Amino acid sequence: METPKPQDPARGEMAHIGKSVVIRGELSGSEDLYIDGNVEGSIELKGNRLTIGPNGRVKANVNARSATIQGKLEGNVRASDRVDLKQSAIVQGDIATQRISIEDGAFFKGGVDIQRDARSEAKPELKVAPAAAAAGAASATAASGTPEPRK
């Protein structure tokens, strides 16, 4: 019998796809997922964690809260929190995330787009920018008083 994979006790159960399992199609869920088998298609786990184990072979675009990759992944990764490429990882595709770690020995071919936290960045800009623009326009009108006469 296979040894259970480590789990985050605070988050509860983790779905597990074993070494001999092959899945083709769209995979989505609302719990953490551990893949040690073969998956081809797309993986949608927006609020959850994806772990591709050392035996995992995935050809899919991934959307998750975080992703830890130990096996092989061909496809793009979008993670709202973080992506960790472990020493045994082989990744071909682009990664968009807030935080990334790549261990020595990991293979990665693709681009990295570091995202900023939209919640902390967008609010101050939206509140300050329109007020500053309005104040600037009011100052310009007050300083000039009346429009210059045409020549």
**6 vs 118, which has greater pLDDT?**
118
Question: How far is it, in rounded angstroms, from Cα 91 to Cα 56?
Answer: 12
Cα 43 to Cα 10, 48, 60, 67, 94, distances in angstroms: 23, 11, 7, 11, 15
For residue 47, being part of any structural domain is answered with yes
For residue 18, being part of any structural domain is answered with yes
For residue 151, being part of any structural domain is answered with no
Mean pLDDT (the chain, rounded) = 80
For residue 54, being part of any structural domain is answered with yes
What's the pTM? 0.71
**119 band by pLDDT with thresholds 50, 70 and 90:** low
Q: Please name the amino acid found at residue 105.
A: G
Question: How far is it, in rounded angstroms, from Cα 113 to Cα 116?
Answer: 10
For residue 135, being part of any structural domain is answered with no
For residue 145, being part of any structural domain is answered with no
**50 vs 2, which has greater pLDDT?**
50
Rg (CA), the chain: 23
Q: Is the per-residue pLDDT at 32 higher than 50?
A: yes
- Beta carbons within 8 Å of 50's beta carbon, 6+ residues apart: 32, 33, 35, 43, 62, 64, 66, 67, 68
- Beta carbons within 8 Å of 96's beta carbon, 6+ residues apart: 76, 77, 78, 79, 112, 113, 115
Domain count, the chain: 1
For residue 125, being part of any structural domain is answered with no
Strand ranges for 29-134 from DSSP E: 32-35, 38-52, 57-69, 72-74, 77-85, 90-92, 95-97, 99-102, 107-109, 112-114
pLDDT at 127: 40
- Host domain of residue 96: 14-114
For residue 84, being part of any structural domain is answered with yes
Question: How far is it, in rounded angstroms, from Cα 67 to Cα 101?
Answer: 11
Q: Is the per-residue pLDDT at 26 higher than 60?
A: yes
